[in-house]
Structure 1
């Protein structure tokens, strides 16, 4: 069977999401379709232009999305992805591998400690970073996992499935002022650990990309309410020791391609391959 890989990357319009798209394109040795998911269509188009010369890559866009509730994530993201995948599966070659990379997310207000959160910001954070995430993971599994054979409605050969959560050291180690962010990352990690127990044929991975040299890290340095952490990150930025996004993205794609990790694992950029 001719190989055909699919990558769905959320938050693909900028930052680490964009770096992951580039890493996928650089590593592609056979036909690979990439669905870029993000809020801004113009920014997504710019990412497409950056990989358009790779003959193995086809790109599709899902823009104008909302992560504000599980229902909105379903309607503005999953429904569109489902339609695209059904179209892809009706063509040739059919998908032999499908990878969902959940990169989209927010940090929350890092100036605050847990006792300072409002009910509204707690609800918003859970909606954007947990509820919408569970919706996409659940939908992806339901859409593409192997189904019982039905002679009246035959389906294409099911692709090998991998689900990746862009995680953080904060999912497994506590630091002050990261209450919402750490809670969200830990919840996302655990969802994939449970999925690995439920579905042995689906590989799951929570990948902590390290302290990246990007806009998000600059925002952390500007807003974090803990002076010790602010100094650590500032020193790393000044010394040039923050992790380059392209290096971390390339490691992630190597991990996904090699697939020799334990399904459900949490792997950090600094861990040995």
Structure 2
């Protein structure tokens, strides 16, 4: 049997990626396609059908696509029950008995309103809506996927949570984002304790040059934090999704991280 140190691929895998249409999720789909074996299936989930279809076409024309890695698109809002049902249904249909690995990447998330301070959030419906998308949906999707693909001999199961420094450090005017990331990370730490056969990774990809980062620079209420991100952008200190994603792929291949641990891109 191949040791984790020698592993160059993740086997014939079913890879479910939420928020796959752009940014880090898109980079994850492209990178995973290169390190899974022929016969693998990528299930790409997002609300934007146009972006998903474009990525599907790109993967079809790639070396991985020509070698037998297939792609299924699920246009769904994972914040809705119907969306979760659609993702699980498509994943079960794509799974074949000879698959060796099930990988779920919980990437879908939102920034929330960073233009206000904590004392302004008096509307419970607004807060509940944010937490539903960023915590509840990730928990319920993960639970449904693990039930759909239970433990069995010959099947590895990996669950990835895309986390942030904000899960462990407070950022002024980012109360929703920090709360969501902290709650979500603890959820996956609990999962790692409960399910020792499941490999759980909380990966913090660092400050990425994405549309969300542009929103951060435009709307962050705290002036020092806003200036800090503006300076990072000006001085070319933001990471590309590809740079950070490559390090996450190395983690998955080596498979030597402590299950449930928070691993930051700058530690690698």
Q: Deviations over 1:59-88 (max 9, x none)?
A: 00110x2244xxx23x223x2233333333
1:62 aligned residue? 74
Distance 1:43 1:243 in 2: 22
Tell me whether 1:104 sits opposite 2:111 in the alignment. Answer: no
Q: Structure 2 vs 1, CA of residues 248 and 56 (structure 1 numbering), >3 Å: closer, same or farther?
A: farther
Distance 2:164 2:143 in 1: 21
Tell me whether 1:5 sits opposite 2:13 in the alignment. Answer: yes
Of residues 71, 84, 92, the one that matches 1:86 is 92
> SS at the partner of 1:34?
strand
Counterparts of 1:116-195 in structure 2 under 5 Å? 116-117=120-121, 118-146=123-151, 159-195=155-191
Q: State the Cα distance separating 1:105 from its structure 2 match.
A: 0.7
Q: State the Cα distance separating 1:120 from its structure 2 match.
A: 2.2
Tell me the number of residue pairs that the alignment of Structure 1 and Structure 2 aligns.
255
Q: State the Cα distance separating 1:27 from its structure 2 match.
A: 2.9
1:153 aligned residue? none
Deviates further, 54-63 or 100-109 = 54-63
Of residues 217, 220, 225, the one that matches 2:213 is 217
Q: Structure 2 vs 1, CA of residues 35 and 67 (structure 1 numbering), >3 Å: closer, same or farther?
A: closer
Of residues 217, 227, 230, the one that matches 1:231 is 227
What's the C-alpha RMSD, in Å, of the aligned pairs? Answer: 1.9
Distance 1:34 1:88 in 2: 9
Decide whether the 8 Å contact of 2:37 with 2:69 is kept in 1: no
Q: Deviations over 1:144-199 (max 9, x none)?
A: 1226xxxxxxxxx5621111110000001111111111111111111111111111
Gaps of 5+ in 2: 2-9
Deviates further, 27-36 or 179-188 = 27-36
Gaps of 5+ in 1: 148-156
Decide whether the 8 Å contact of 1:114 with 1:177 is kept in 2: yes
1:18 aligned residue? 26
- The TM-score normalised by the length of structure 2 is 0.90
- The TM-score normalised by the length of structure 1 is 0.88
Q: Deviations over 1:108-138 (max 9, x none)?
A: 1001111101222101101111111111011
Decide whether the 8 Å contact of 1:88 with 1:94 is kept in 2: no
1:263 aligned residue? 259
> SS at the partner of 2:266?
coil
Decide whether the 8 Å contact of 2:40 with 2:99 is kept in 1: no
